Amino acid sequence: MGGKTHRGFCPECGSPVQTKTDSAPHIVAIRTASLDDPSWFNSQIDVWTSDAQLWDQMNPAVPKFPFYPQ
C-alpha cells in the first residue's frame, strides 16, 4: 500500500502485538490472540477476509475488508 508499517512487540517475550501503517494511521490492528484475556475485546472490523477459511464464523454486523483498508 506504500508507506511504512510500524509493528509493536511485547517487551518481555517479543511476540507481535499491534500493527499500524503510514497510509492508514487512524487504524491500529491488535492481535487479540496476544491478549491475556481477549474476552473483553469487541472487533470493529474484519480485515483480510479474502483469506478467511470457510469454517470461520465472522460477526455479520462487523464491517468486512477483503484486504487492509486504506
Domain ranges of the chain: 1-34+44-54+62-70
Q: In this predicted structure, what is the pLDDT of residue 1?
A: 54
How far is the C-alpha of 60 from the C-alpha of 46, rounded, in Å? 10
Q: In this predicted structure, what is the pLDDT of residue 63?
A: 92
In Å, the largest CA–CA distance within the chain is 36
Angle 2-20-40 (CA atoms, 0-180°, nearest 5)? 150
Cross-strand pairs, 7: 19
**Average pLDDT in the chain:** 85
Over residues 39-62, the mean pLDDT reads 87
Q: Residue 45: pLDDT above 90?
A: no
Over residues 41-50, the mean pLDDT reads 85
Q: In this predicted structure, what is the pLDDT of residue 39?
A: 78
